[in-house]
Amino acid sequence: MKKKIAFIGLAIVGLSLTAFGISNIKKENSNSKKDTIGKLEETSKSLDDLFEKKEYDFHISVGTRFTNVATLEDIQNANSIEDFIPQEQIDQVSKYTSVKITLLDDYKETDIFAIGKDDILTADQKKILQSLDYSSNFLVRGDFVGTKEFQRNHNYSYFTPFMTVIPHTEGYYEQGMDALLYYLRAKSEEISSQYQKEDFKSGKLYFTISKEGKISNINLTSTGGFTELDNKMVEILNNLEGKWIPAKNAKGETVEQTLVIAFGVIGC
């Protein structure tokens, strides 16, 4: 696997791509031949051809555990859930009737929770939020009386954003997210192409970007449907070359951040 990344570095130059199942990770485009992932093949195909024009049965994405995110600083300084939940949910509300904050173990609810009567955080809710660290996950359930417009278009009156805590500046792969996705797909294609879409499951492969920009704590928490496929994804991540830029807190200090490779099919 000791390969130079010439092709991808050149392919990314000048391309403006729509994100491929990714959010919340700073994207960098390389314009040099050095420090790229490897010359996978000499081909005229662009990343645009690979990512935007072809539908894949095998899903791959890299990012935080949940797409709804808030910085640790915002959460720890919050006095209301409206200080960190998505604006689209705030806009639905005329009046809150109950708010529950629950710690998550991956996507599963734990028995650590606190309930308040409105958006203003209670002492117990603040205690839970103060206990969070980077990459922690939690759930906010808000029951409410909706705005008139919301009530006209919906027959429910609650929201449940699953949220991940992120650093002030997130860590990212120096060669760019498009290059990383291209590499993961190319290296897994030989095995993933052997299976049908309906046979895949929602695999999750956690890893940590250390303060030094190294990958550590690789942990498969759910299968993509096949042991051979799971093992291959772990192998690919273990052998990944290139540099990671570590995350930073609000003071500019480097901190660890955990990300997730989701593969197989989209799901919890």
Which of 206, 196, 202 minimizes the C-alpha distance to 225? 202
Question: Which DSSP string corresponds to 211-259?
Answer: TTS-EEEEEEEE--S-HHHHHHHHHHHHT--S-EEPEE-TTS-EE-EEE
What does R_g of the chain's alpha carbons equal in angstroms? 20
Average pLDDT of 133-156? 96
| pTM of model > 0.75 | yes
pLDDT for the residue numbered 267: 81
Q: d(Cα 181, Cα 258) in Å, to the nearest integer?
A: 17
pLDDT in tens, 84-130: 999 999 999 999 999 999 999 999 999 999 999 999 999 999 999 99
Does a structural domain hold residue 1? Answer: no
* Number of domains composing the chain: 2
Mean pLDDT over the full length of the chain:
84
In a shared domain, residues 162 and 74: yes
Does a structural domain hold residue 2? Answer: no
Which of 207, 218, 211, 214 minimizes the C-alpha distance to 249? 211
In a shared domain, residues 18 and 88: no
Label residue 205 by pLDDT band (50, 70, 90): very high
Q: Which residue has the higher pLDDT, 185 or 9?
A: 185
Q: Which of 166, 200, 217 is the last residue of a domain?
A: 166
Does a structural domain hold residue 129? Answer: yes
pLDDT in tens, 219-248: 999 999 999 999 999 999 999 988 999 999
> 121: domain range?
69-166
In a shared domain, residues 96 and 151: yes
Label residue 6 by pLDDT band (50, 70, 90): very low
